[in-house]
Amino acid sequence: MPDWITHILSALIIAELLKVRKKSLLVLGVLLPDLLCKLYLLNVFTNIPIQLTTFMSTFHELVPAILASVLIAFFFYKNLMEAMILIPAGTLLHFLLDATTRHYFYTPWWAFFWADEYWILLFMFMIAYLGILLIKRFRNGNTGCNMHAQ
């Protein structure tokens, strides 16, 4: 499973490529499946019964996660249309990225990396994101050098 930095980078790459204005909504959507399923840890720190928190792991399944992301989008009522598109799209992106890594218990044939090789994806996405930022900077004529600016 890719780590959270890789998930965030994937959302930022898509946001840069598609010129998404509200990148934070896409980033929220891409983190939601992992954040929601980690809510079961609440019973470690609080007196919430374990029966109420164990079902949270179902939010790392595609359909419950998409439904939860649509419901969470209603909290962003000022940008409801963007939220209704970007948060579920981010959640879908999360599962696409998760599908690139194999887990030891089930091994999908389409997965490229083993679960403990998350750093390969992290490195690839860091290079891709930095490359996109550099290309955008040079296309806009902003090289970061102010020596000639007057």
Does 98 help bind Zn ion (rule: CB under 5 A)?
yes
Please report how many Cα atoms fall inside a 13 Å half-sphere around the Cα of residue 114, on the Cβ side: 4
Strand positions, DSSP E, the chain: 101-102, 113-114
Q: Which stretch binds Zn ion (CB under 5 A): 10-18, 42-50, 91-99, 108-116?
A: 91-99
In the complex, minimum distance from the CB of residue 99 to Zn ion, in angstroms, rounded to a whole number: 10
Cβ nearer to Zn ion, comparing 120 with 132: 120
**DSSP conformation letters of 22-71:** -HHHHHHHHHHHHHHHGGGGHHHHS---HHHHGGGGGGGSHHHHHHHHHH
Contact by Cβ (8 Å): 91, 37 = no
Beta bridge partner(s), residue 101: 113
20-79: contacts with Zn ion (CB under 5 A): 34
In the complex, minimum distance from the CB of residue 127 to Zn ion, in angstroms, rounded to a whole number: 22
Q: Count residues near Zn ion (CB under 5 A).
A: 2
Cβ nearer to Zn ion, comparing 71 with 96: 96
Angle (nearest 5°) at CA 90 between 125 and 68: 145
Does 101 help bind Zn ion (rule: CB under 5 A)?
no
In the complex, minimum distance from the CB of residue 111 to Zn ion, in angstroms, rounded to a whole number: 13
In the complex, minimum distance from the CB of residue 45 to Zn ion, in angstroms, rounded to a whole number: 22
Site of interaction with Zn ion (CB under 5 A) = 34, 98
